[in-house]
């Protein structure tokens, strides 16, 4: 498990690499891996990362096949991301409706309103 954490940390890089390096340092210092992972989840405080940590703890404690569980986790995260993108797109389309309505309404009022205004001025 620790070898997999090392490889994934170097593959991902960035902040996650630093966090997993800290996990490995604490584990090598003699702390229980489960406790170290729980502390990391509290320290990072990101929902998807906490979900990954809880999955890693389950895999470590129960000795379950890791590849299938992690594949399922990534599929779930991809679906959540798709739903989030679809939600944002829906909100953006509502905002665009009002903007396009303004750009369509002003020329329409000019085309219809100008002759009416002109006839009223002529009548006075």
Q: Is residue 103 part of a domain?
A: yes
Q: Per the confidence metrics, is the pTM higher than 0.75?
A: no
Q: Is residue 78 part of a domain?
A: no
Please list, in sequence order, all residues whose beta carbon lies within 8 angstroms of the beta carbon of residue 111, skipping any fewer than 6 positions away: none
Q: Is residue 57 part of a domain?
A: yes
Q: Which domain holds residue 97?
A: 83-124
Please list, in sequence order, all residues whose beta carbon lies within 8 angstroms of the beta carbon of residue 43, skipping any fewer than 6 positions away: 19
Work out how many domains the chain is built from and give that number.
2
Q: Is residue 70 part of a domain?
A: no
42 lies in the same domain as 96: no
Measure the CA–CA gap between 22 and 71, rounded to whole angstroms. Answer: 25
Q: Is residue 34 part of a domain?
A: yes
pLDDT digits (tens, 9 = 90+) for 59-70: 888 877 777 888
Whether the pLDDT of residue 1 is over 80: the answer is no
b/e sequence 7-23, b meaning 16+ C-beta within 10 Å? eebeeeeeeeeebbeeb
């Amino acid at each position: 498990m620790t070898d997999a954490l090392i490889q994934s940390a170097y593959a991902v890089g960035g902040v996650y690499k630093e966090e997993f390096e800290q996990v490995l340092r604490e584990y090598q210092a003699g702390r229980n891996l489960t406790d170290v992972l729980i502390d990391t989840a509290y320290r990072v405080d990101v929902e998807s990362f906490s979900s990954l940590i809880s999955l890693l703890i389950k895999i470590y404690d129960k000795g379950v096949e890791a590849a299938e569980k992690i594949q399922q986790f990534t599929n779930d995260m991809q679906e959540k991301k798709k739903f989030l993108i679809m939600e944002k797109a829906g909100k953006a389309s509502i905002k665009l409706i009002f903007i396009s309505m303004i750009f369509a309404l002003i020329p329409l009022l000019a085309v219809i309103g100008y002759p009416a205004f002109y006839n009223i001025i002529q009548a006075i």
